[in-house]
Each structure stands twice: as C-alpha cells, then as structure tokens.
Amino acid sequence: MKTIELAVEKRSTIGKGEARRSRAAGRIPAVVYGAGKPNVPISVDRKALSDAFRGGAGDNAIFLLKLAGSDQSRHAMIREMQRDPVSRKPVHIDFVRVLMDVKVKVEVPIEIVGIAKGVKTDQGILDVVTREIEIECLPTDIPAHIPVDVTELAIGDAIRISDLKPVAGVEIVDNPEKVVVHVTHPTREEEPVAAAVEGAAEPTEPEVLKKGKAASEEEAPEAEKPEKKEKEKEK
C-alpha cells in the first residue's frame, strides 16, 4: 500500500461557524484521533485530497499527515468521510492514527478473475454474494483487492472464504463459511398463457335490440292482433 503525503493545518477553534469558514476557503474540516492520544482538529486542502484520490488512493489508503509550520507528522487512515447530500463533496473527515508496525483490520473489495465455466458454456448466472472481505495485516501490506478466480465454477458450484488463496502478509479474519460467489441456473421465461383454452366454447355476442317501431312490434306483437280482429268484425 502506497503512503500518500498530505499537508494539514491545525484548527485553533472548533464549531459550525469555523467549519463553514474552512469550507469557504477551500478546506475540509477534519479530526485525527486514536492510538491513545488526544483528538486533534485539523483541516485538509480540498484540491490536494481530490488529487490524491485521482492518483489512485483507495478506501484503505495510508496518509502521512504533515502538520504545516512544524516537523510533526502522523500516519493515518480515513475512518469516515461525510459528504454533502446534494453536491457529494466531502464536508468532514475522521482520520484514525495507525502505527506502521501494528496490524490493522480493514475490509478489502474482491476482484473477479476469469469467466466461470458454467456461465461460458451453460449460460449460468454468476452471483457475487460478498463484495468485501475483512482482513488483518500491517498497514503497508493492505492489498487493493482480493482476487477470486471463478474459471472452474460450474452451475451449482460456489467459492467460500475458506477456498480463497492466501495472500502474502494478509490474514483473512472473516467467516470462513461465508459464500463469496456462486453460479446459478439460468432464469427461464414463463410460457405465455394461451389465448383460448382448447375446446372452450366461443363467447357469444350480446343480443342487440332493434330501435324504433320495429322494436315495439317485436316486444308485444300478439297483444295487437286481438284488437285488430275486433275492428274487422265491427266493419
């Protein structure tokens, strides 16, 4: 793990007002704590931190914080970075001190290597269950990622943490039975429902009544016939 030098300034006061002034001046308010020493409020140049991340600094980067105007320096890692919910810019950073000869516990992302046999030949689906693994090592031995070779995985096969190849200087302290990745059967689309069941009767169209005089005559034709006969007799 590469150590990144970062110039910091000590803050003389703390509070929301001072934090707002730091941000307005292009600096990020922060604090350094841990290793049995008092908390120290500091500020970090926003551009310098952005340059460090663009240069490859990851989540577990080791920083050498150099205090401006003095010869004091301290190795530290970012424990928490608060961001603005809208702009996503850092608004506060918590640095934790680290001793370079003392092991630390961190979570490291996995990196999938190869194409699973079950995916390549049988159209299976590679399901990544665990994306980060907890390890313990010296700060200088923290890997950028843990490689996971899935080439030989067939459908139904899985790789657990206990199956991972050892990494020099790194001890995996996560649950050995935890599944990291497995290959599942391909999803099958349901067959479309038939438009009509075979042998079912055709739906009948509703009867439409005729309009006007014809409709009236059809409703009661027999009632009119006796009256007509009586009139003929009178003639």
Which helix (H) or strand (E) segment is 219 a member of? Answer: helix 212-219
Assigned token pair, 198: 């075979």
- Quote the DSSP letter at residue 141: G
Q: Is 113 helix (H, G, I), strand (E, B) or coil?
A: strand
pLDDT digits (tens, 9 = 90+) for 134-155: 999 999 999 999 999 999 999 9
Strands (E), the chain: 3-10, 27-34, 37-45, 62-67, 73-83, 90-97, 104-113, 125-128, 132-137, 146-149, 158-160, 171-172, 179-184
Judged against a pLDDT cut of 90, whether residue 15 lies above it is answered with no
pLDDT of the residue at 212: 47
Distance separating alpha carbons of residues 47 and 42, to the nearest angstrom = 16
Helices and strands, number each (H, E), in the chain: 5, 13
pLDDT tens-place string over residues 63-79:
999 998 888 899 999 99
Contact by Cβ (8 Å): 177, 162? yes
Tell me phi and psi for residue 35, to 5 degrees.
60, 25
Distance CA 97, CA 195 (A): 69
All domains of the chain in start order, with CATH: 3-97 (2.40.240.10), 104-184 (2.170.120.20)
Does the structure show a pLDDT above 70 at 190?
Answer: no
Q: What is the pTM of this model?
A: 0.70
**Residue 67 burial class via C-beta count within 10 angstroms: exposed 0-12, middle 13-18, buried 19 and up:** middle
**pLDDT value of residue 100:** 93
What's the CA gap between 10 and 31, in Å, rounded?
9
Is residue 196 predicted with pLDDT exceeding 50? no
Q: Which residue pairs, CB below 8 angstroms and at least 24 apart, start in 95-99?
A: 95/30, 95/31, 95/32, 95/33, 95/42, 95/63, 95/65, 96/32, 96/33, 96/34, 97/32, 97/33, 97/34, 97/35, 97/37, 98/34, 98/35, 98/62, 98/139, 99/35, 99/75, 99/139
% pLDDT > 90, the chain: 60
What's the pLDDT tens digit per position in 115-130?
A: 999 999 999 999 999 9
